[in-house]
Amino acid sequence: MTVPRVLFVKLSSLGDVIHHMPAVTDLRARRPELQIHWAVEEAYADLVRLHPAVDQVIPVGLRRAKGAPFASSTWRSLRETREALRRERYDYVVDTQGLTKSALVAANAHGIRFGFDRASARERFAARFYDQGIKVARKQHAVERNRQLVANVFGYEPEGEASYGLVAPEEPPAWAPEGPYFVALHAASRANKRWPDALWIDLAARLWDEGGLVGVYPGGNPAEREQAARLAAASPQGVAAPEMSLVEAAALLRAADSVVGVDTGLTHLAVALESPAVAGIYCATDPTLTGLHGWEYAKSLGGVQKPPTVDEVMAALGFAAPPEFDDVPTDATPS
């Protein structure tokens, strides 16, 4: 008997990839007989492999093609991707990204193609490449949009809270602090998404004083690692993280006592891994549609041009706000 196969296309970015994982968890629970494949940008392939419901990962090198379009390795990678997509005959090809580039990837696979309809897709042109477009309300969290799209394709209703299903390594990287630590995800691609350094330093001092937590500061590129080094040097026993893979980052986040992060994919990864306490810092985006979702100990703070205070972050992590005292006259005499 032939095993039914489904190909998901969700290429990037990191946050978008993570937001698709609950839909995969749902489908595995409802249709355990399916073989699930996932086409994803090669940078995120190892992370997707941490989801036990995914049987095969097809790495896609579109970002590499954009950065080095004439390199022989780029063309070889794209050829290998196309061959991998065409190797199987799929019963379902589901593009949950809704972009023209993801629709073109889906179009290279053999099978009936499903995706968001013109009114629902992020790029309307993408809907031209689907055999069946599905209407899904736009004004809801990305996780729930993905869950509803997949549920509509396979004929069930999403139930319960989102479950990301990731299984990360149990031990943190060897260089991680031996005692309690929090991870400070300070880096963002846009300057207006970042929290001021002074607030990070204040937060680190508070978490050390009140919880004995050491701050760990990752950075992805040289500028981010330079900022990480500055913050670590200004924090009690702070640690500037070395370069690491996404799987190592997952292990670091999973073992952390707390995670504080700006609007970036790694903060959503901390939620997916159910880190004990996660505070999301929003300074330039609305957390309603892409905030932290699906973990009761994760809180989204702030909003567009409304960065949260250190007190708000401390409260989100479970530390009581400092008490407020009424002013007492200096000449008051004890009774």
Burial label for 132, CB within 10 Å (0-12, 13-18, 19+), is: middle
Q: Establish if 169 belongs to a structural domain.
A: no
209 & 109 share domain:
no
220 & 126 share domain:
no
187 & 85 share domain:
no
For residue 323, pLDDT beyond 70: no
Confidence of residue 321 (pLDDT cuts 50, 70, 90): low
267 alpha carbon, distance to own chain's centre? 6
Name which of 189, 209, 207, 197 is nearest 284 in CA terms: 189
Confidence of residue 67 (pLDDT cuts 50, 70, 90): confident
Q: Establish if 325 belongs to a structural domain.
A: no
Any idea what the Cα angle at residue 222 is, between residues 219 and 226, rounded to 5°?
A: 70
pLDDT of residue 73: 77
What SS3 state is found at 157? coil
149 & 193 share domain:
no
Q: Establish if 67 belongs to a structural domain.
A: yes
Q: Rounded to whole angstroms, how far apart are CA atoms 173 and 244? A: 9
149 & 185 share domain:
no
41 torsion bin: left (phi>0), alpha (psi -120 to 50), beta (else) = beta
Q: Establish if 79 belongs to a structural domain.
A: yes
For residue 213, pLDDT beyond 80: yes
Name which of 168, 158, 74, 60 is nearest 104 in CA terms: 60
pLDDT of residue 325: 45
Q: Rounded to whole angstroms, how far apart are CA atoms 16 and 22? A: 11
Any idea what the Cα angle at residue 141 is, between residues 253 and 145, rounded to 5°?
A: 110
Strand 92-95 to strand 5-9: parallel, antiparallel, or no bridges (unpaired)? Answer: parallel
For the chain, what is the mean pLDDT? Answer: 94
225 & 139 share domain:
no
For residue 26, pLDDT beyond 60: yes
Q: Establish if 239 belongs to a structural domain.
A: yes
Q: Rounded to whole angstroms, how far apart are CA atoms 93 and 317? A: 41
* Number of domains within the chain: 2
Q: Rounded to whole angstroms, how far apart are CA atoms 24 and 47? A: 14
pLDDT of residue 331: 44
Partner residues linked to 216 by β-bridges:
183, 239
Q: Establish if 219 belongs to a structural domain.
A: yes
Q: Establish if 161 belongs to a structural domain.
A: no
Confidence of residue 327 (pLDDT cuts 50, 70, 90): very low
54 & 144 share domain:
yes
Last residue of one domain, picked from the residues 106, 135, 154: 154
Confidence of residue 78 (pLDDT cuts 50, 70, 90): confident
59 & 185 share domain:
no
- DSSP assignment of 197-217, as one string? HHHHHHHHHHHHHHH-PEEEE
Give me the percent of the chain exceeding a pLDDT of 90. Answer: 88
Q: Residue 212, Cβ neighbours under 10 Å: how many?
A: 13
What is the domain range of residue 244?
A: 181-316
280 & 187 share domain:
yes
98 & 55 share domain:
yes
The letter for the amino acid at 26 is: D
- DSSP alpha helices (H): ranges in 137-196? 142-154
CATH number of the domain that residue 228 is part of: 3.40.50.2000
Find all residues with CB under 8 Å of 36, minimum gap 6, and list them: 5, 6, 8, 24, 27, 28, 53, 54, 55, 56
Q: What is the mean pLDDT of residues 85-96?
A: 97
Q: Establish if 329 belongs to a structural domain.
A: no
What is this structure's pTM?
Answer: 0.92
Q: What is the mean pLDDT of residues 205-219?
A: 98
**pLDDT digits over 238-260, tens only?**
999 999 999 999 999 999 999 99
23 & 115 share domain:
yes
84 & 219 share domain:
no
